Amino acid sequence: MTLRKRTPCVGICSTTYGDLVCRGCKRFAHEIVQWNGYDTEQQERVWERLIGLRDAVVTQFLHVEDEERFVQTCTAASILTEPRSTAVYAVLSHLAAGRHSLTSAGLELQPGWQPAHLQPAEEQHALTALQAIDAELYSRSVAHYERNFKIPL
């Protein structure tokens, strides 16, 4: 059994302001409205989409360069090391909260990935990387919504 928060909500709901995809949790507006009416299977499908999307982006943009340092960071922050992409995202969030660099936890940007808005001196900063990943997650969530739910005018 997977232990999860009751809801994916992160307390930054942009659907209140008219977004069809929440900039905080990346759920669709109709999922947020109907969440408490969903049965466990429906909620699990939403969770699976959100986690799958997040893990795909994290895997594409970050990797563990120093395994020992990564495991030490996970241990110090009480983060499980598996599944790996979930652990990498948890470590990234932990580093960003403390405004630490990626390398301090053995993480590194994938070769060739340089978000357009990052300056070279910032490229290894965890907060900046987390913001770039969050922007990519939002972009992919919007694309998913438009492909599957948007009704042509």
Instruction: Please state the pTM of the whole predicted model.
Output: 0.83
* Peptide bond just before 83 cis, omega within 30 deg: yes
Token duo for residue 100? 């630490």
pLDDT, tens only, 65-88: 999 999 999 999 999 988 899 999
Tell me, what's the pLDDT at 121?
46
pLDDT, tens only, 10-41: 888 888 788 889 999 999 999 999 999 999 99
Q: Band the pLDDT of 4: cuts 50, 70, 90.
A: low
Token duo for residue 35? 């969440």
CA distances from 133 to 26, 31, 89, 127 (A): 12, 22, 10, 10
**Could you write out the DSSP letters of every residue in 121-149?**
GGTTBHHHHHHHHHHHHHHHHHHHHHHHT
Of the candidates 62, 53, 48, 46, which has an alpha carbon nearest to the alpha carbon of residue 109?
62
Tell me, what's the pLDDT at 111?
82
Mean pLDDT score of the chain, rounded to an integer? 87
Tell me, what's the pLDDT at 13?
83
